[in-house]
Amino acid sequence: MNLTQTKPHLWLLAGIALLFISGAAESKRIFKCPSGCSCTKETIICVGTSHIPRTIPNEINSLSMVNGSISEVTEGMFALMPSLQLLLLNANSLTTIKDDAFSGLPHLEYLFIEGNKIETITKNAFRGLRDLTHLSLANNKMRFLPRDLFFDLDSLLELDLRGNSFQCDCENKWLMTWLKNTNATVSDVFCAGPSDMKGKRLNDLPIPPGGCISTDFVRHQSIPIQSMSADIFSFKEDIYVAMAAPNSNSCVVMEWDHIEMNFRKFDNITGKSVVGCKSVLVNNHVLIIVTQLFGGSHIYKFDDQQNKFTKFQTIEVFNISKPNDIEVFQMDGGWYFVIVDSSKAGLSTLYKWTDQPDRNETGFYSYQFLHEWFRDTDAEFVEVDGKSYLIIASRSQPPVIFLWNKSTLKFILHGEIPQVDDVVAVKAFRVDNELYLAMTCYIGDSKVLKWANKVFTEVQALPSRGAMILQPFTFTDRHYLALGSDYSFTQIYLWDVETKEFHKFKDIYVQSPRTFTAVTTDRRNFIFSSSFKGKSMVFEHIIVDLSL
């Protein structure tokens, strides 16, 4: 190597180094204490200022900003002060602390933000402060703290949260849990609300088991089929739905796809103005009862070899003019169904399953004619107090109750449900083993009735002009009513265990809904809603943790 050639470079590097040294010395010499501040070798104290020093000497380890007009702490606001060990921001006008507000302060141990107007702290405001041992947020206006706000504070020894307006509800549930598990010393935190919690110590409150869990209904699937009804049934561990689709002259059978997690078409039973599709499992055979406005009504049976439904039986419908509903039930070991007739000249008819191959009688045959001339709309079978009842709703008279007579093996007229007129549908459900009825009324209020002292008594009225269905359904311990109308959103009501009434919970949109049917499959819960004028909809019932 030619040393004479490298000497100029050495001189150049030496000159640059001298420039840096002299520049640093000059910078050190020219640092001036900011206006409104007092400075020592290691501290800066500013009073009544609205500006934060841009840079500070490396020897400064303490910065105090008091009685100023700083309104927020933004990301990296103190990043050029890495030597700070103490930062005090008391009695300013702070309202917000944003994410990574204290990034670039790896040695910070003491942080005091007291006597401000802080309402909002973002979740990652204190991210990176792993050496922080003392934190005070006392005397601000905080009602809630974001979940896991103190997650990064591994070295925290003392925390002061006094003088805030904490709400002791679900949004602060995480804080209750954290207070019970942290090793840091925390000041007493008192509840400012709700009213029943006011004045109580947040530290002492029990963590409510499940008290911060709610639910929601989210749209899962839309099915481009207009339908009058949707009947869910299971066979060989698979879930199916039979949809009466009068506009397409068919009963559409769909099955649940366990891979795609939605319903797909399985079979199509063609007919004429199909208004009802109802399944029944008899002797390990899946049957679908199909009622039509024209061309009679039929029963179809699933054929394993063809993997489809084939015609099994033509139903005797001599006295049925306008079928409106099918109610299937099992009683005394036998299977029955009722076809409800909504015409003035028809007879709602009870059918019974008969299995007598030697007489060539295997199927459902008419067993009893019920009342006529009343334009029946719906039927519901209930068992209560060891007796079997059949409730028939009508457009032209109050709902009537038939009682099963075990001597004659027939239904006999038992009574009526007074003061409920023009009932479109009647559905039974139970809450805490108490029997209730949901009565859908097109005009006026729909009703919730309770069985007590051997009669049904009204316990709640729900405004429902134009309603076509008031459908009860249950998931685990939550009881709902879906009130569907042709003129408004479907209103979901939730049962309140304290008031023992239904309260408005949520609105969902289904155009002209006719049924709401609960489905549980693959550990998920859904409601399947048929639509007379639009797409049938599937909503998933999900759990929502309000403390998140």
Query: What is the spatial distance between Cα 410 and Cα 392, in angstroms, rounded to a whole number?
Result: 15
Q: Is 16 helix (H, G, I), strand (E, B) or coil?
A: helix
Residue 421: per-residue pLDDT = 84
Beta carbons within 10 angstroms of residue 366's beta carbon? 17
Amino acid 11: pLDDT = 35
DSSP 308-367: EEEEEEE---TT-SSEEEEEEEEETTEEEEEEEE-STT-EEEEEEEEEEGGGTEEEEEEE
319: nearest Cα among 378, 381, 366: 366
DSSP per-residue codes, 92-124? S---EE-TTTTTT-TT--EEE--SS---EE-TT
* Of residues 208, 268, 219, 260, the one with CA closest to residue 243: 268
pLDDT digits (tens, 9 = 90+) for 263-318: 999 999 999 999 999 999 999 899 999 999 998 999 999 999 999 999 999 998 88
The bridge status of strand 96-97 relative to strand 120-121 is parallel
Burial of 117 (0-12, 13-18, 19+ CB in 10 A): middle
Phi, then psi, of 25 in degrees rounded to 5: -65, -40
> Distance from first CA to last CA of the chain, Å, rounded?
69
For residue 100, what are its two tokens?
Answer: 């990574």
Instruction: Please give the torsion angle defined by the CA atoms of residues 46, 52, 56 and 58, in that order, rounded to the nearest 10 degrees.
Output: 90
d(CA 512, CA 490): 9
Rounded CA-CA distance 493/480 in Å is: 5
Q: ∠ at Cα 486 (484, 490), nearest 5°?
A: 30
| Segments of the chain with pLDDT less than 70 | 1-30, 207-210, 373
- Cα–Cα dist 249/176, whole Å: 59
Q: What percent of the chain has pLDDT over 70?
A: 94
Cβ–Cβ under 8 Å, residues 234 and 240? yes
Q: How far apart are CA 470 and CA 256, in angstroms?
A: 25
Q: Is 419 left (phi over 0), alpha (psi -120 to 50) or beta?
A: left
Q: Tell me, what's the pLDDT at 205?
A: 82
Measured CA to CA, the distance from residue 111 to residue 133 in angstroms comes to 8
SS (H, E, C) 435-447: EEEEEEECCCEEE
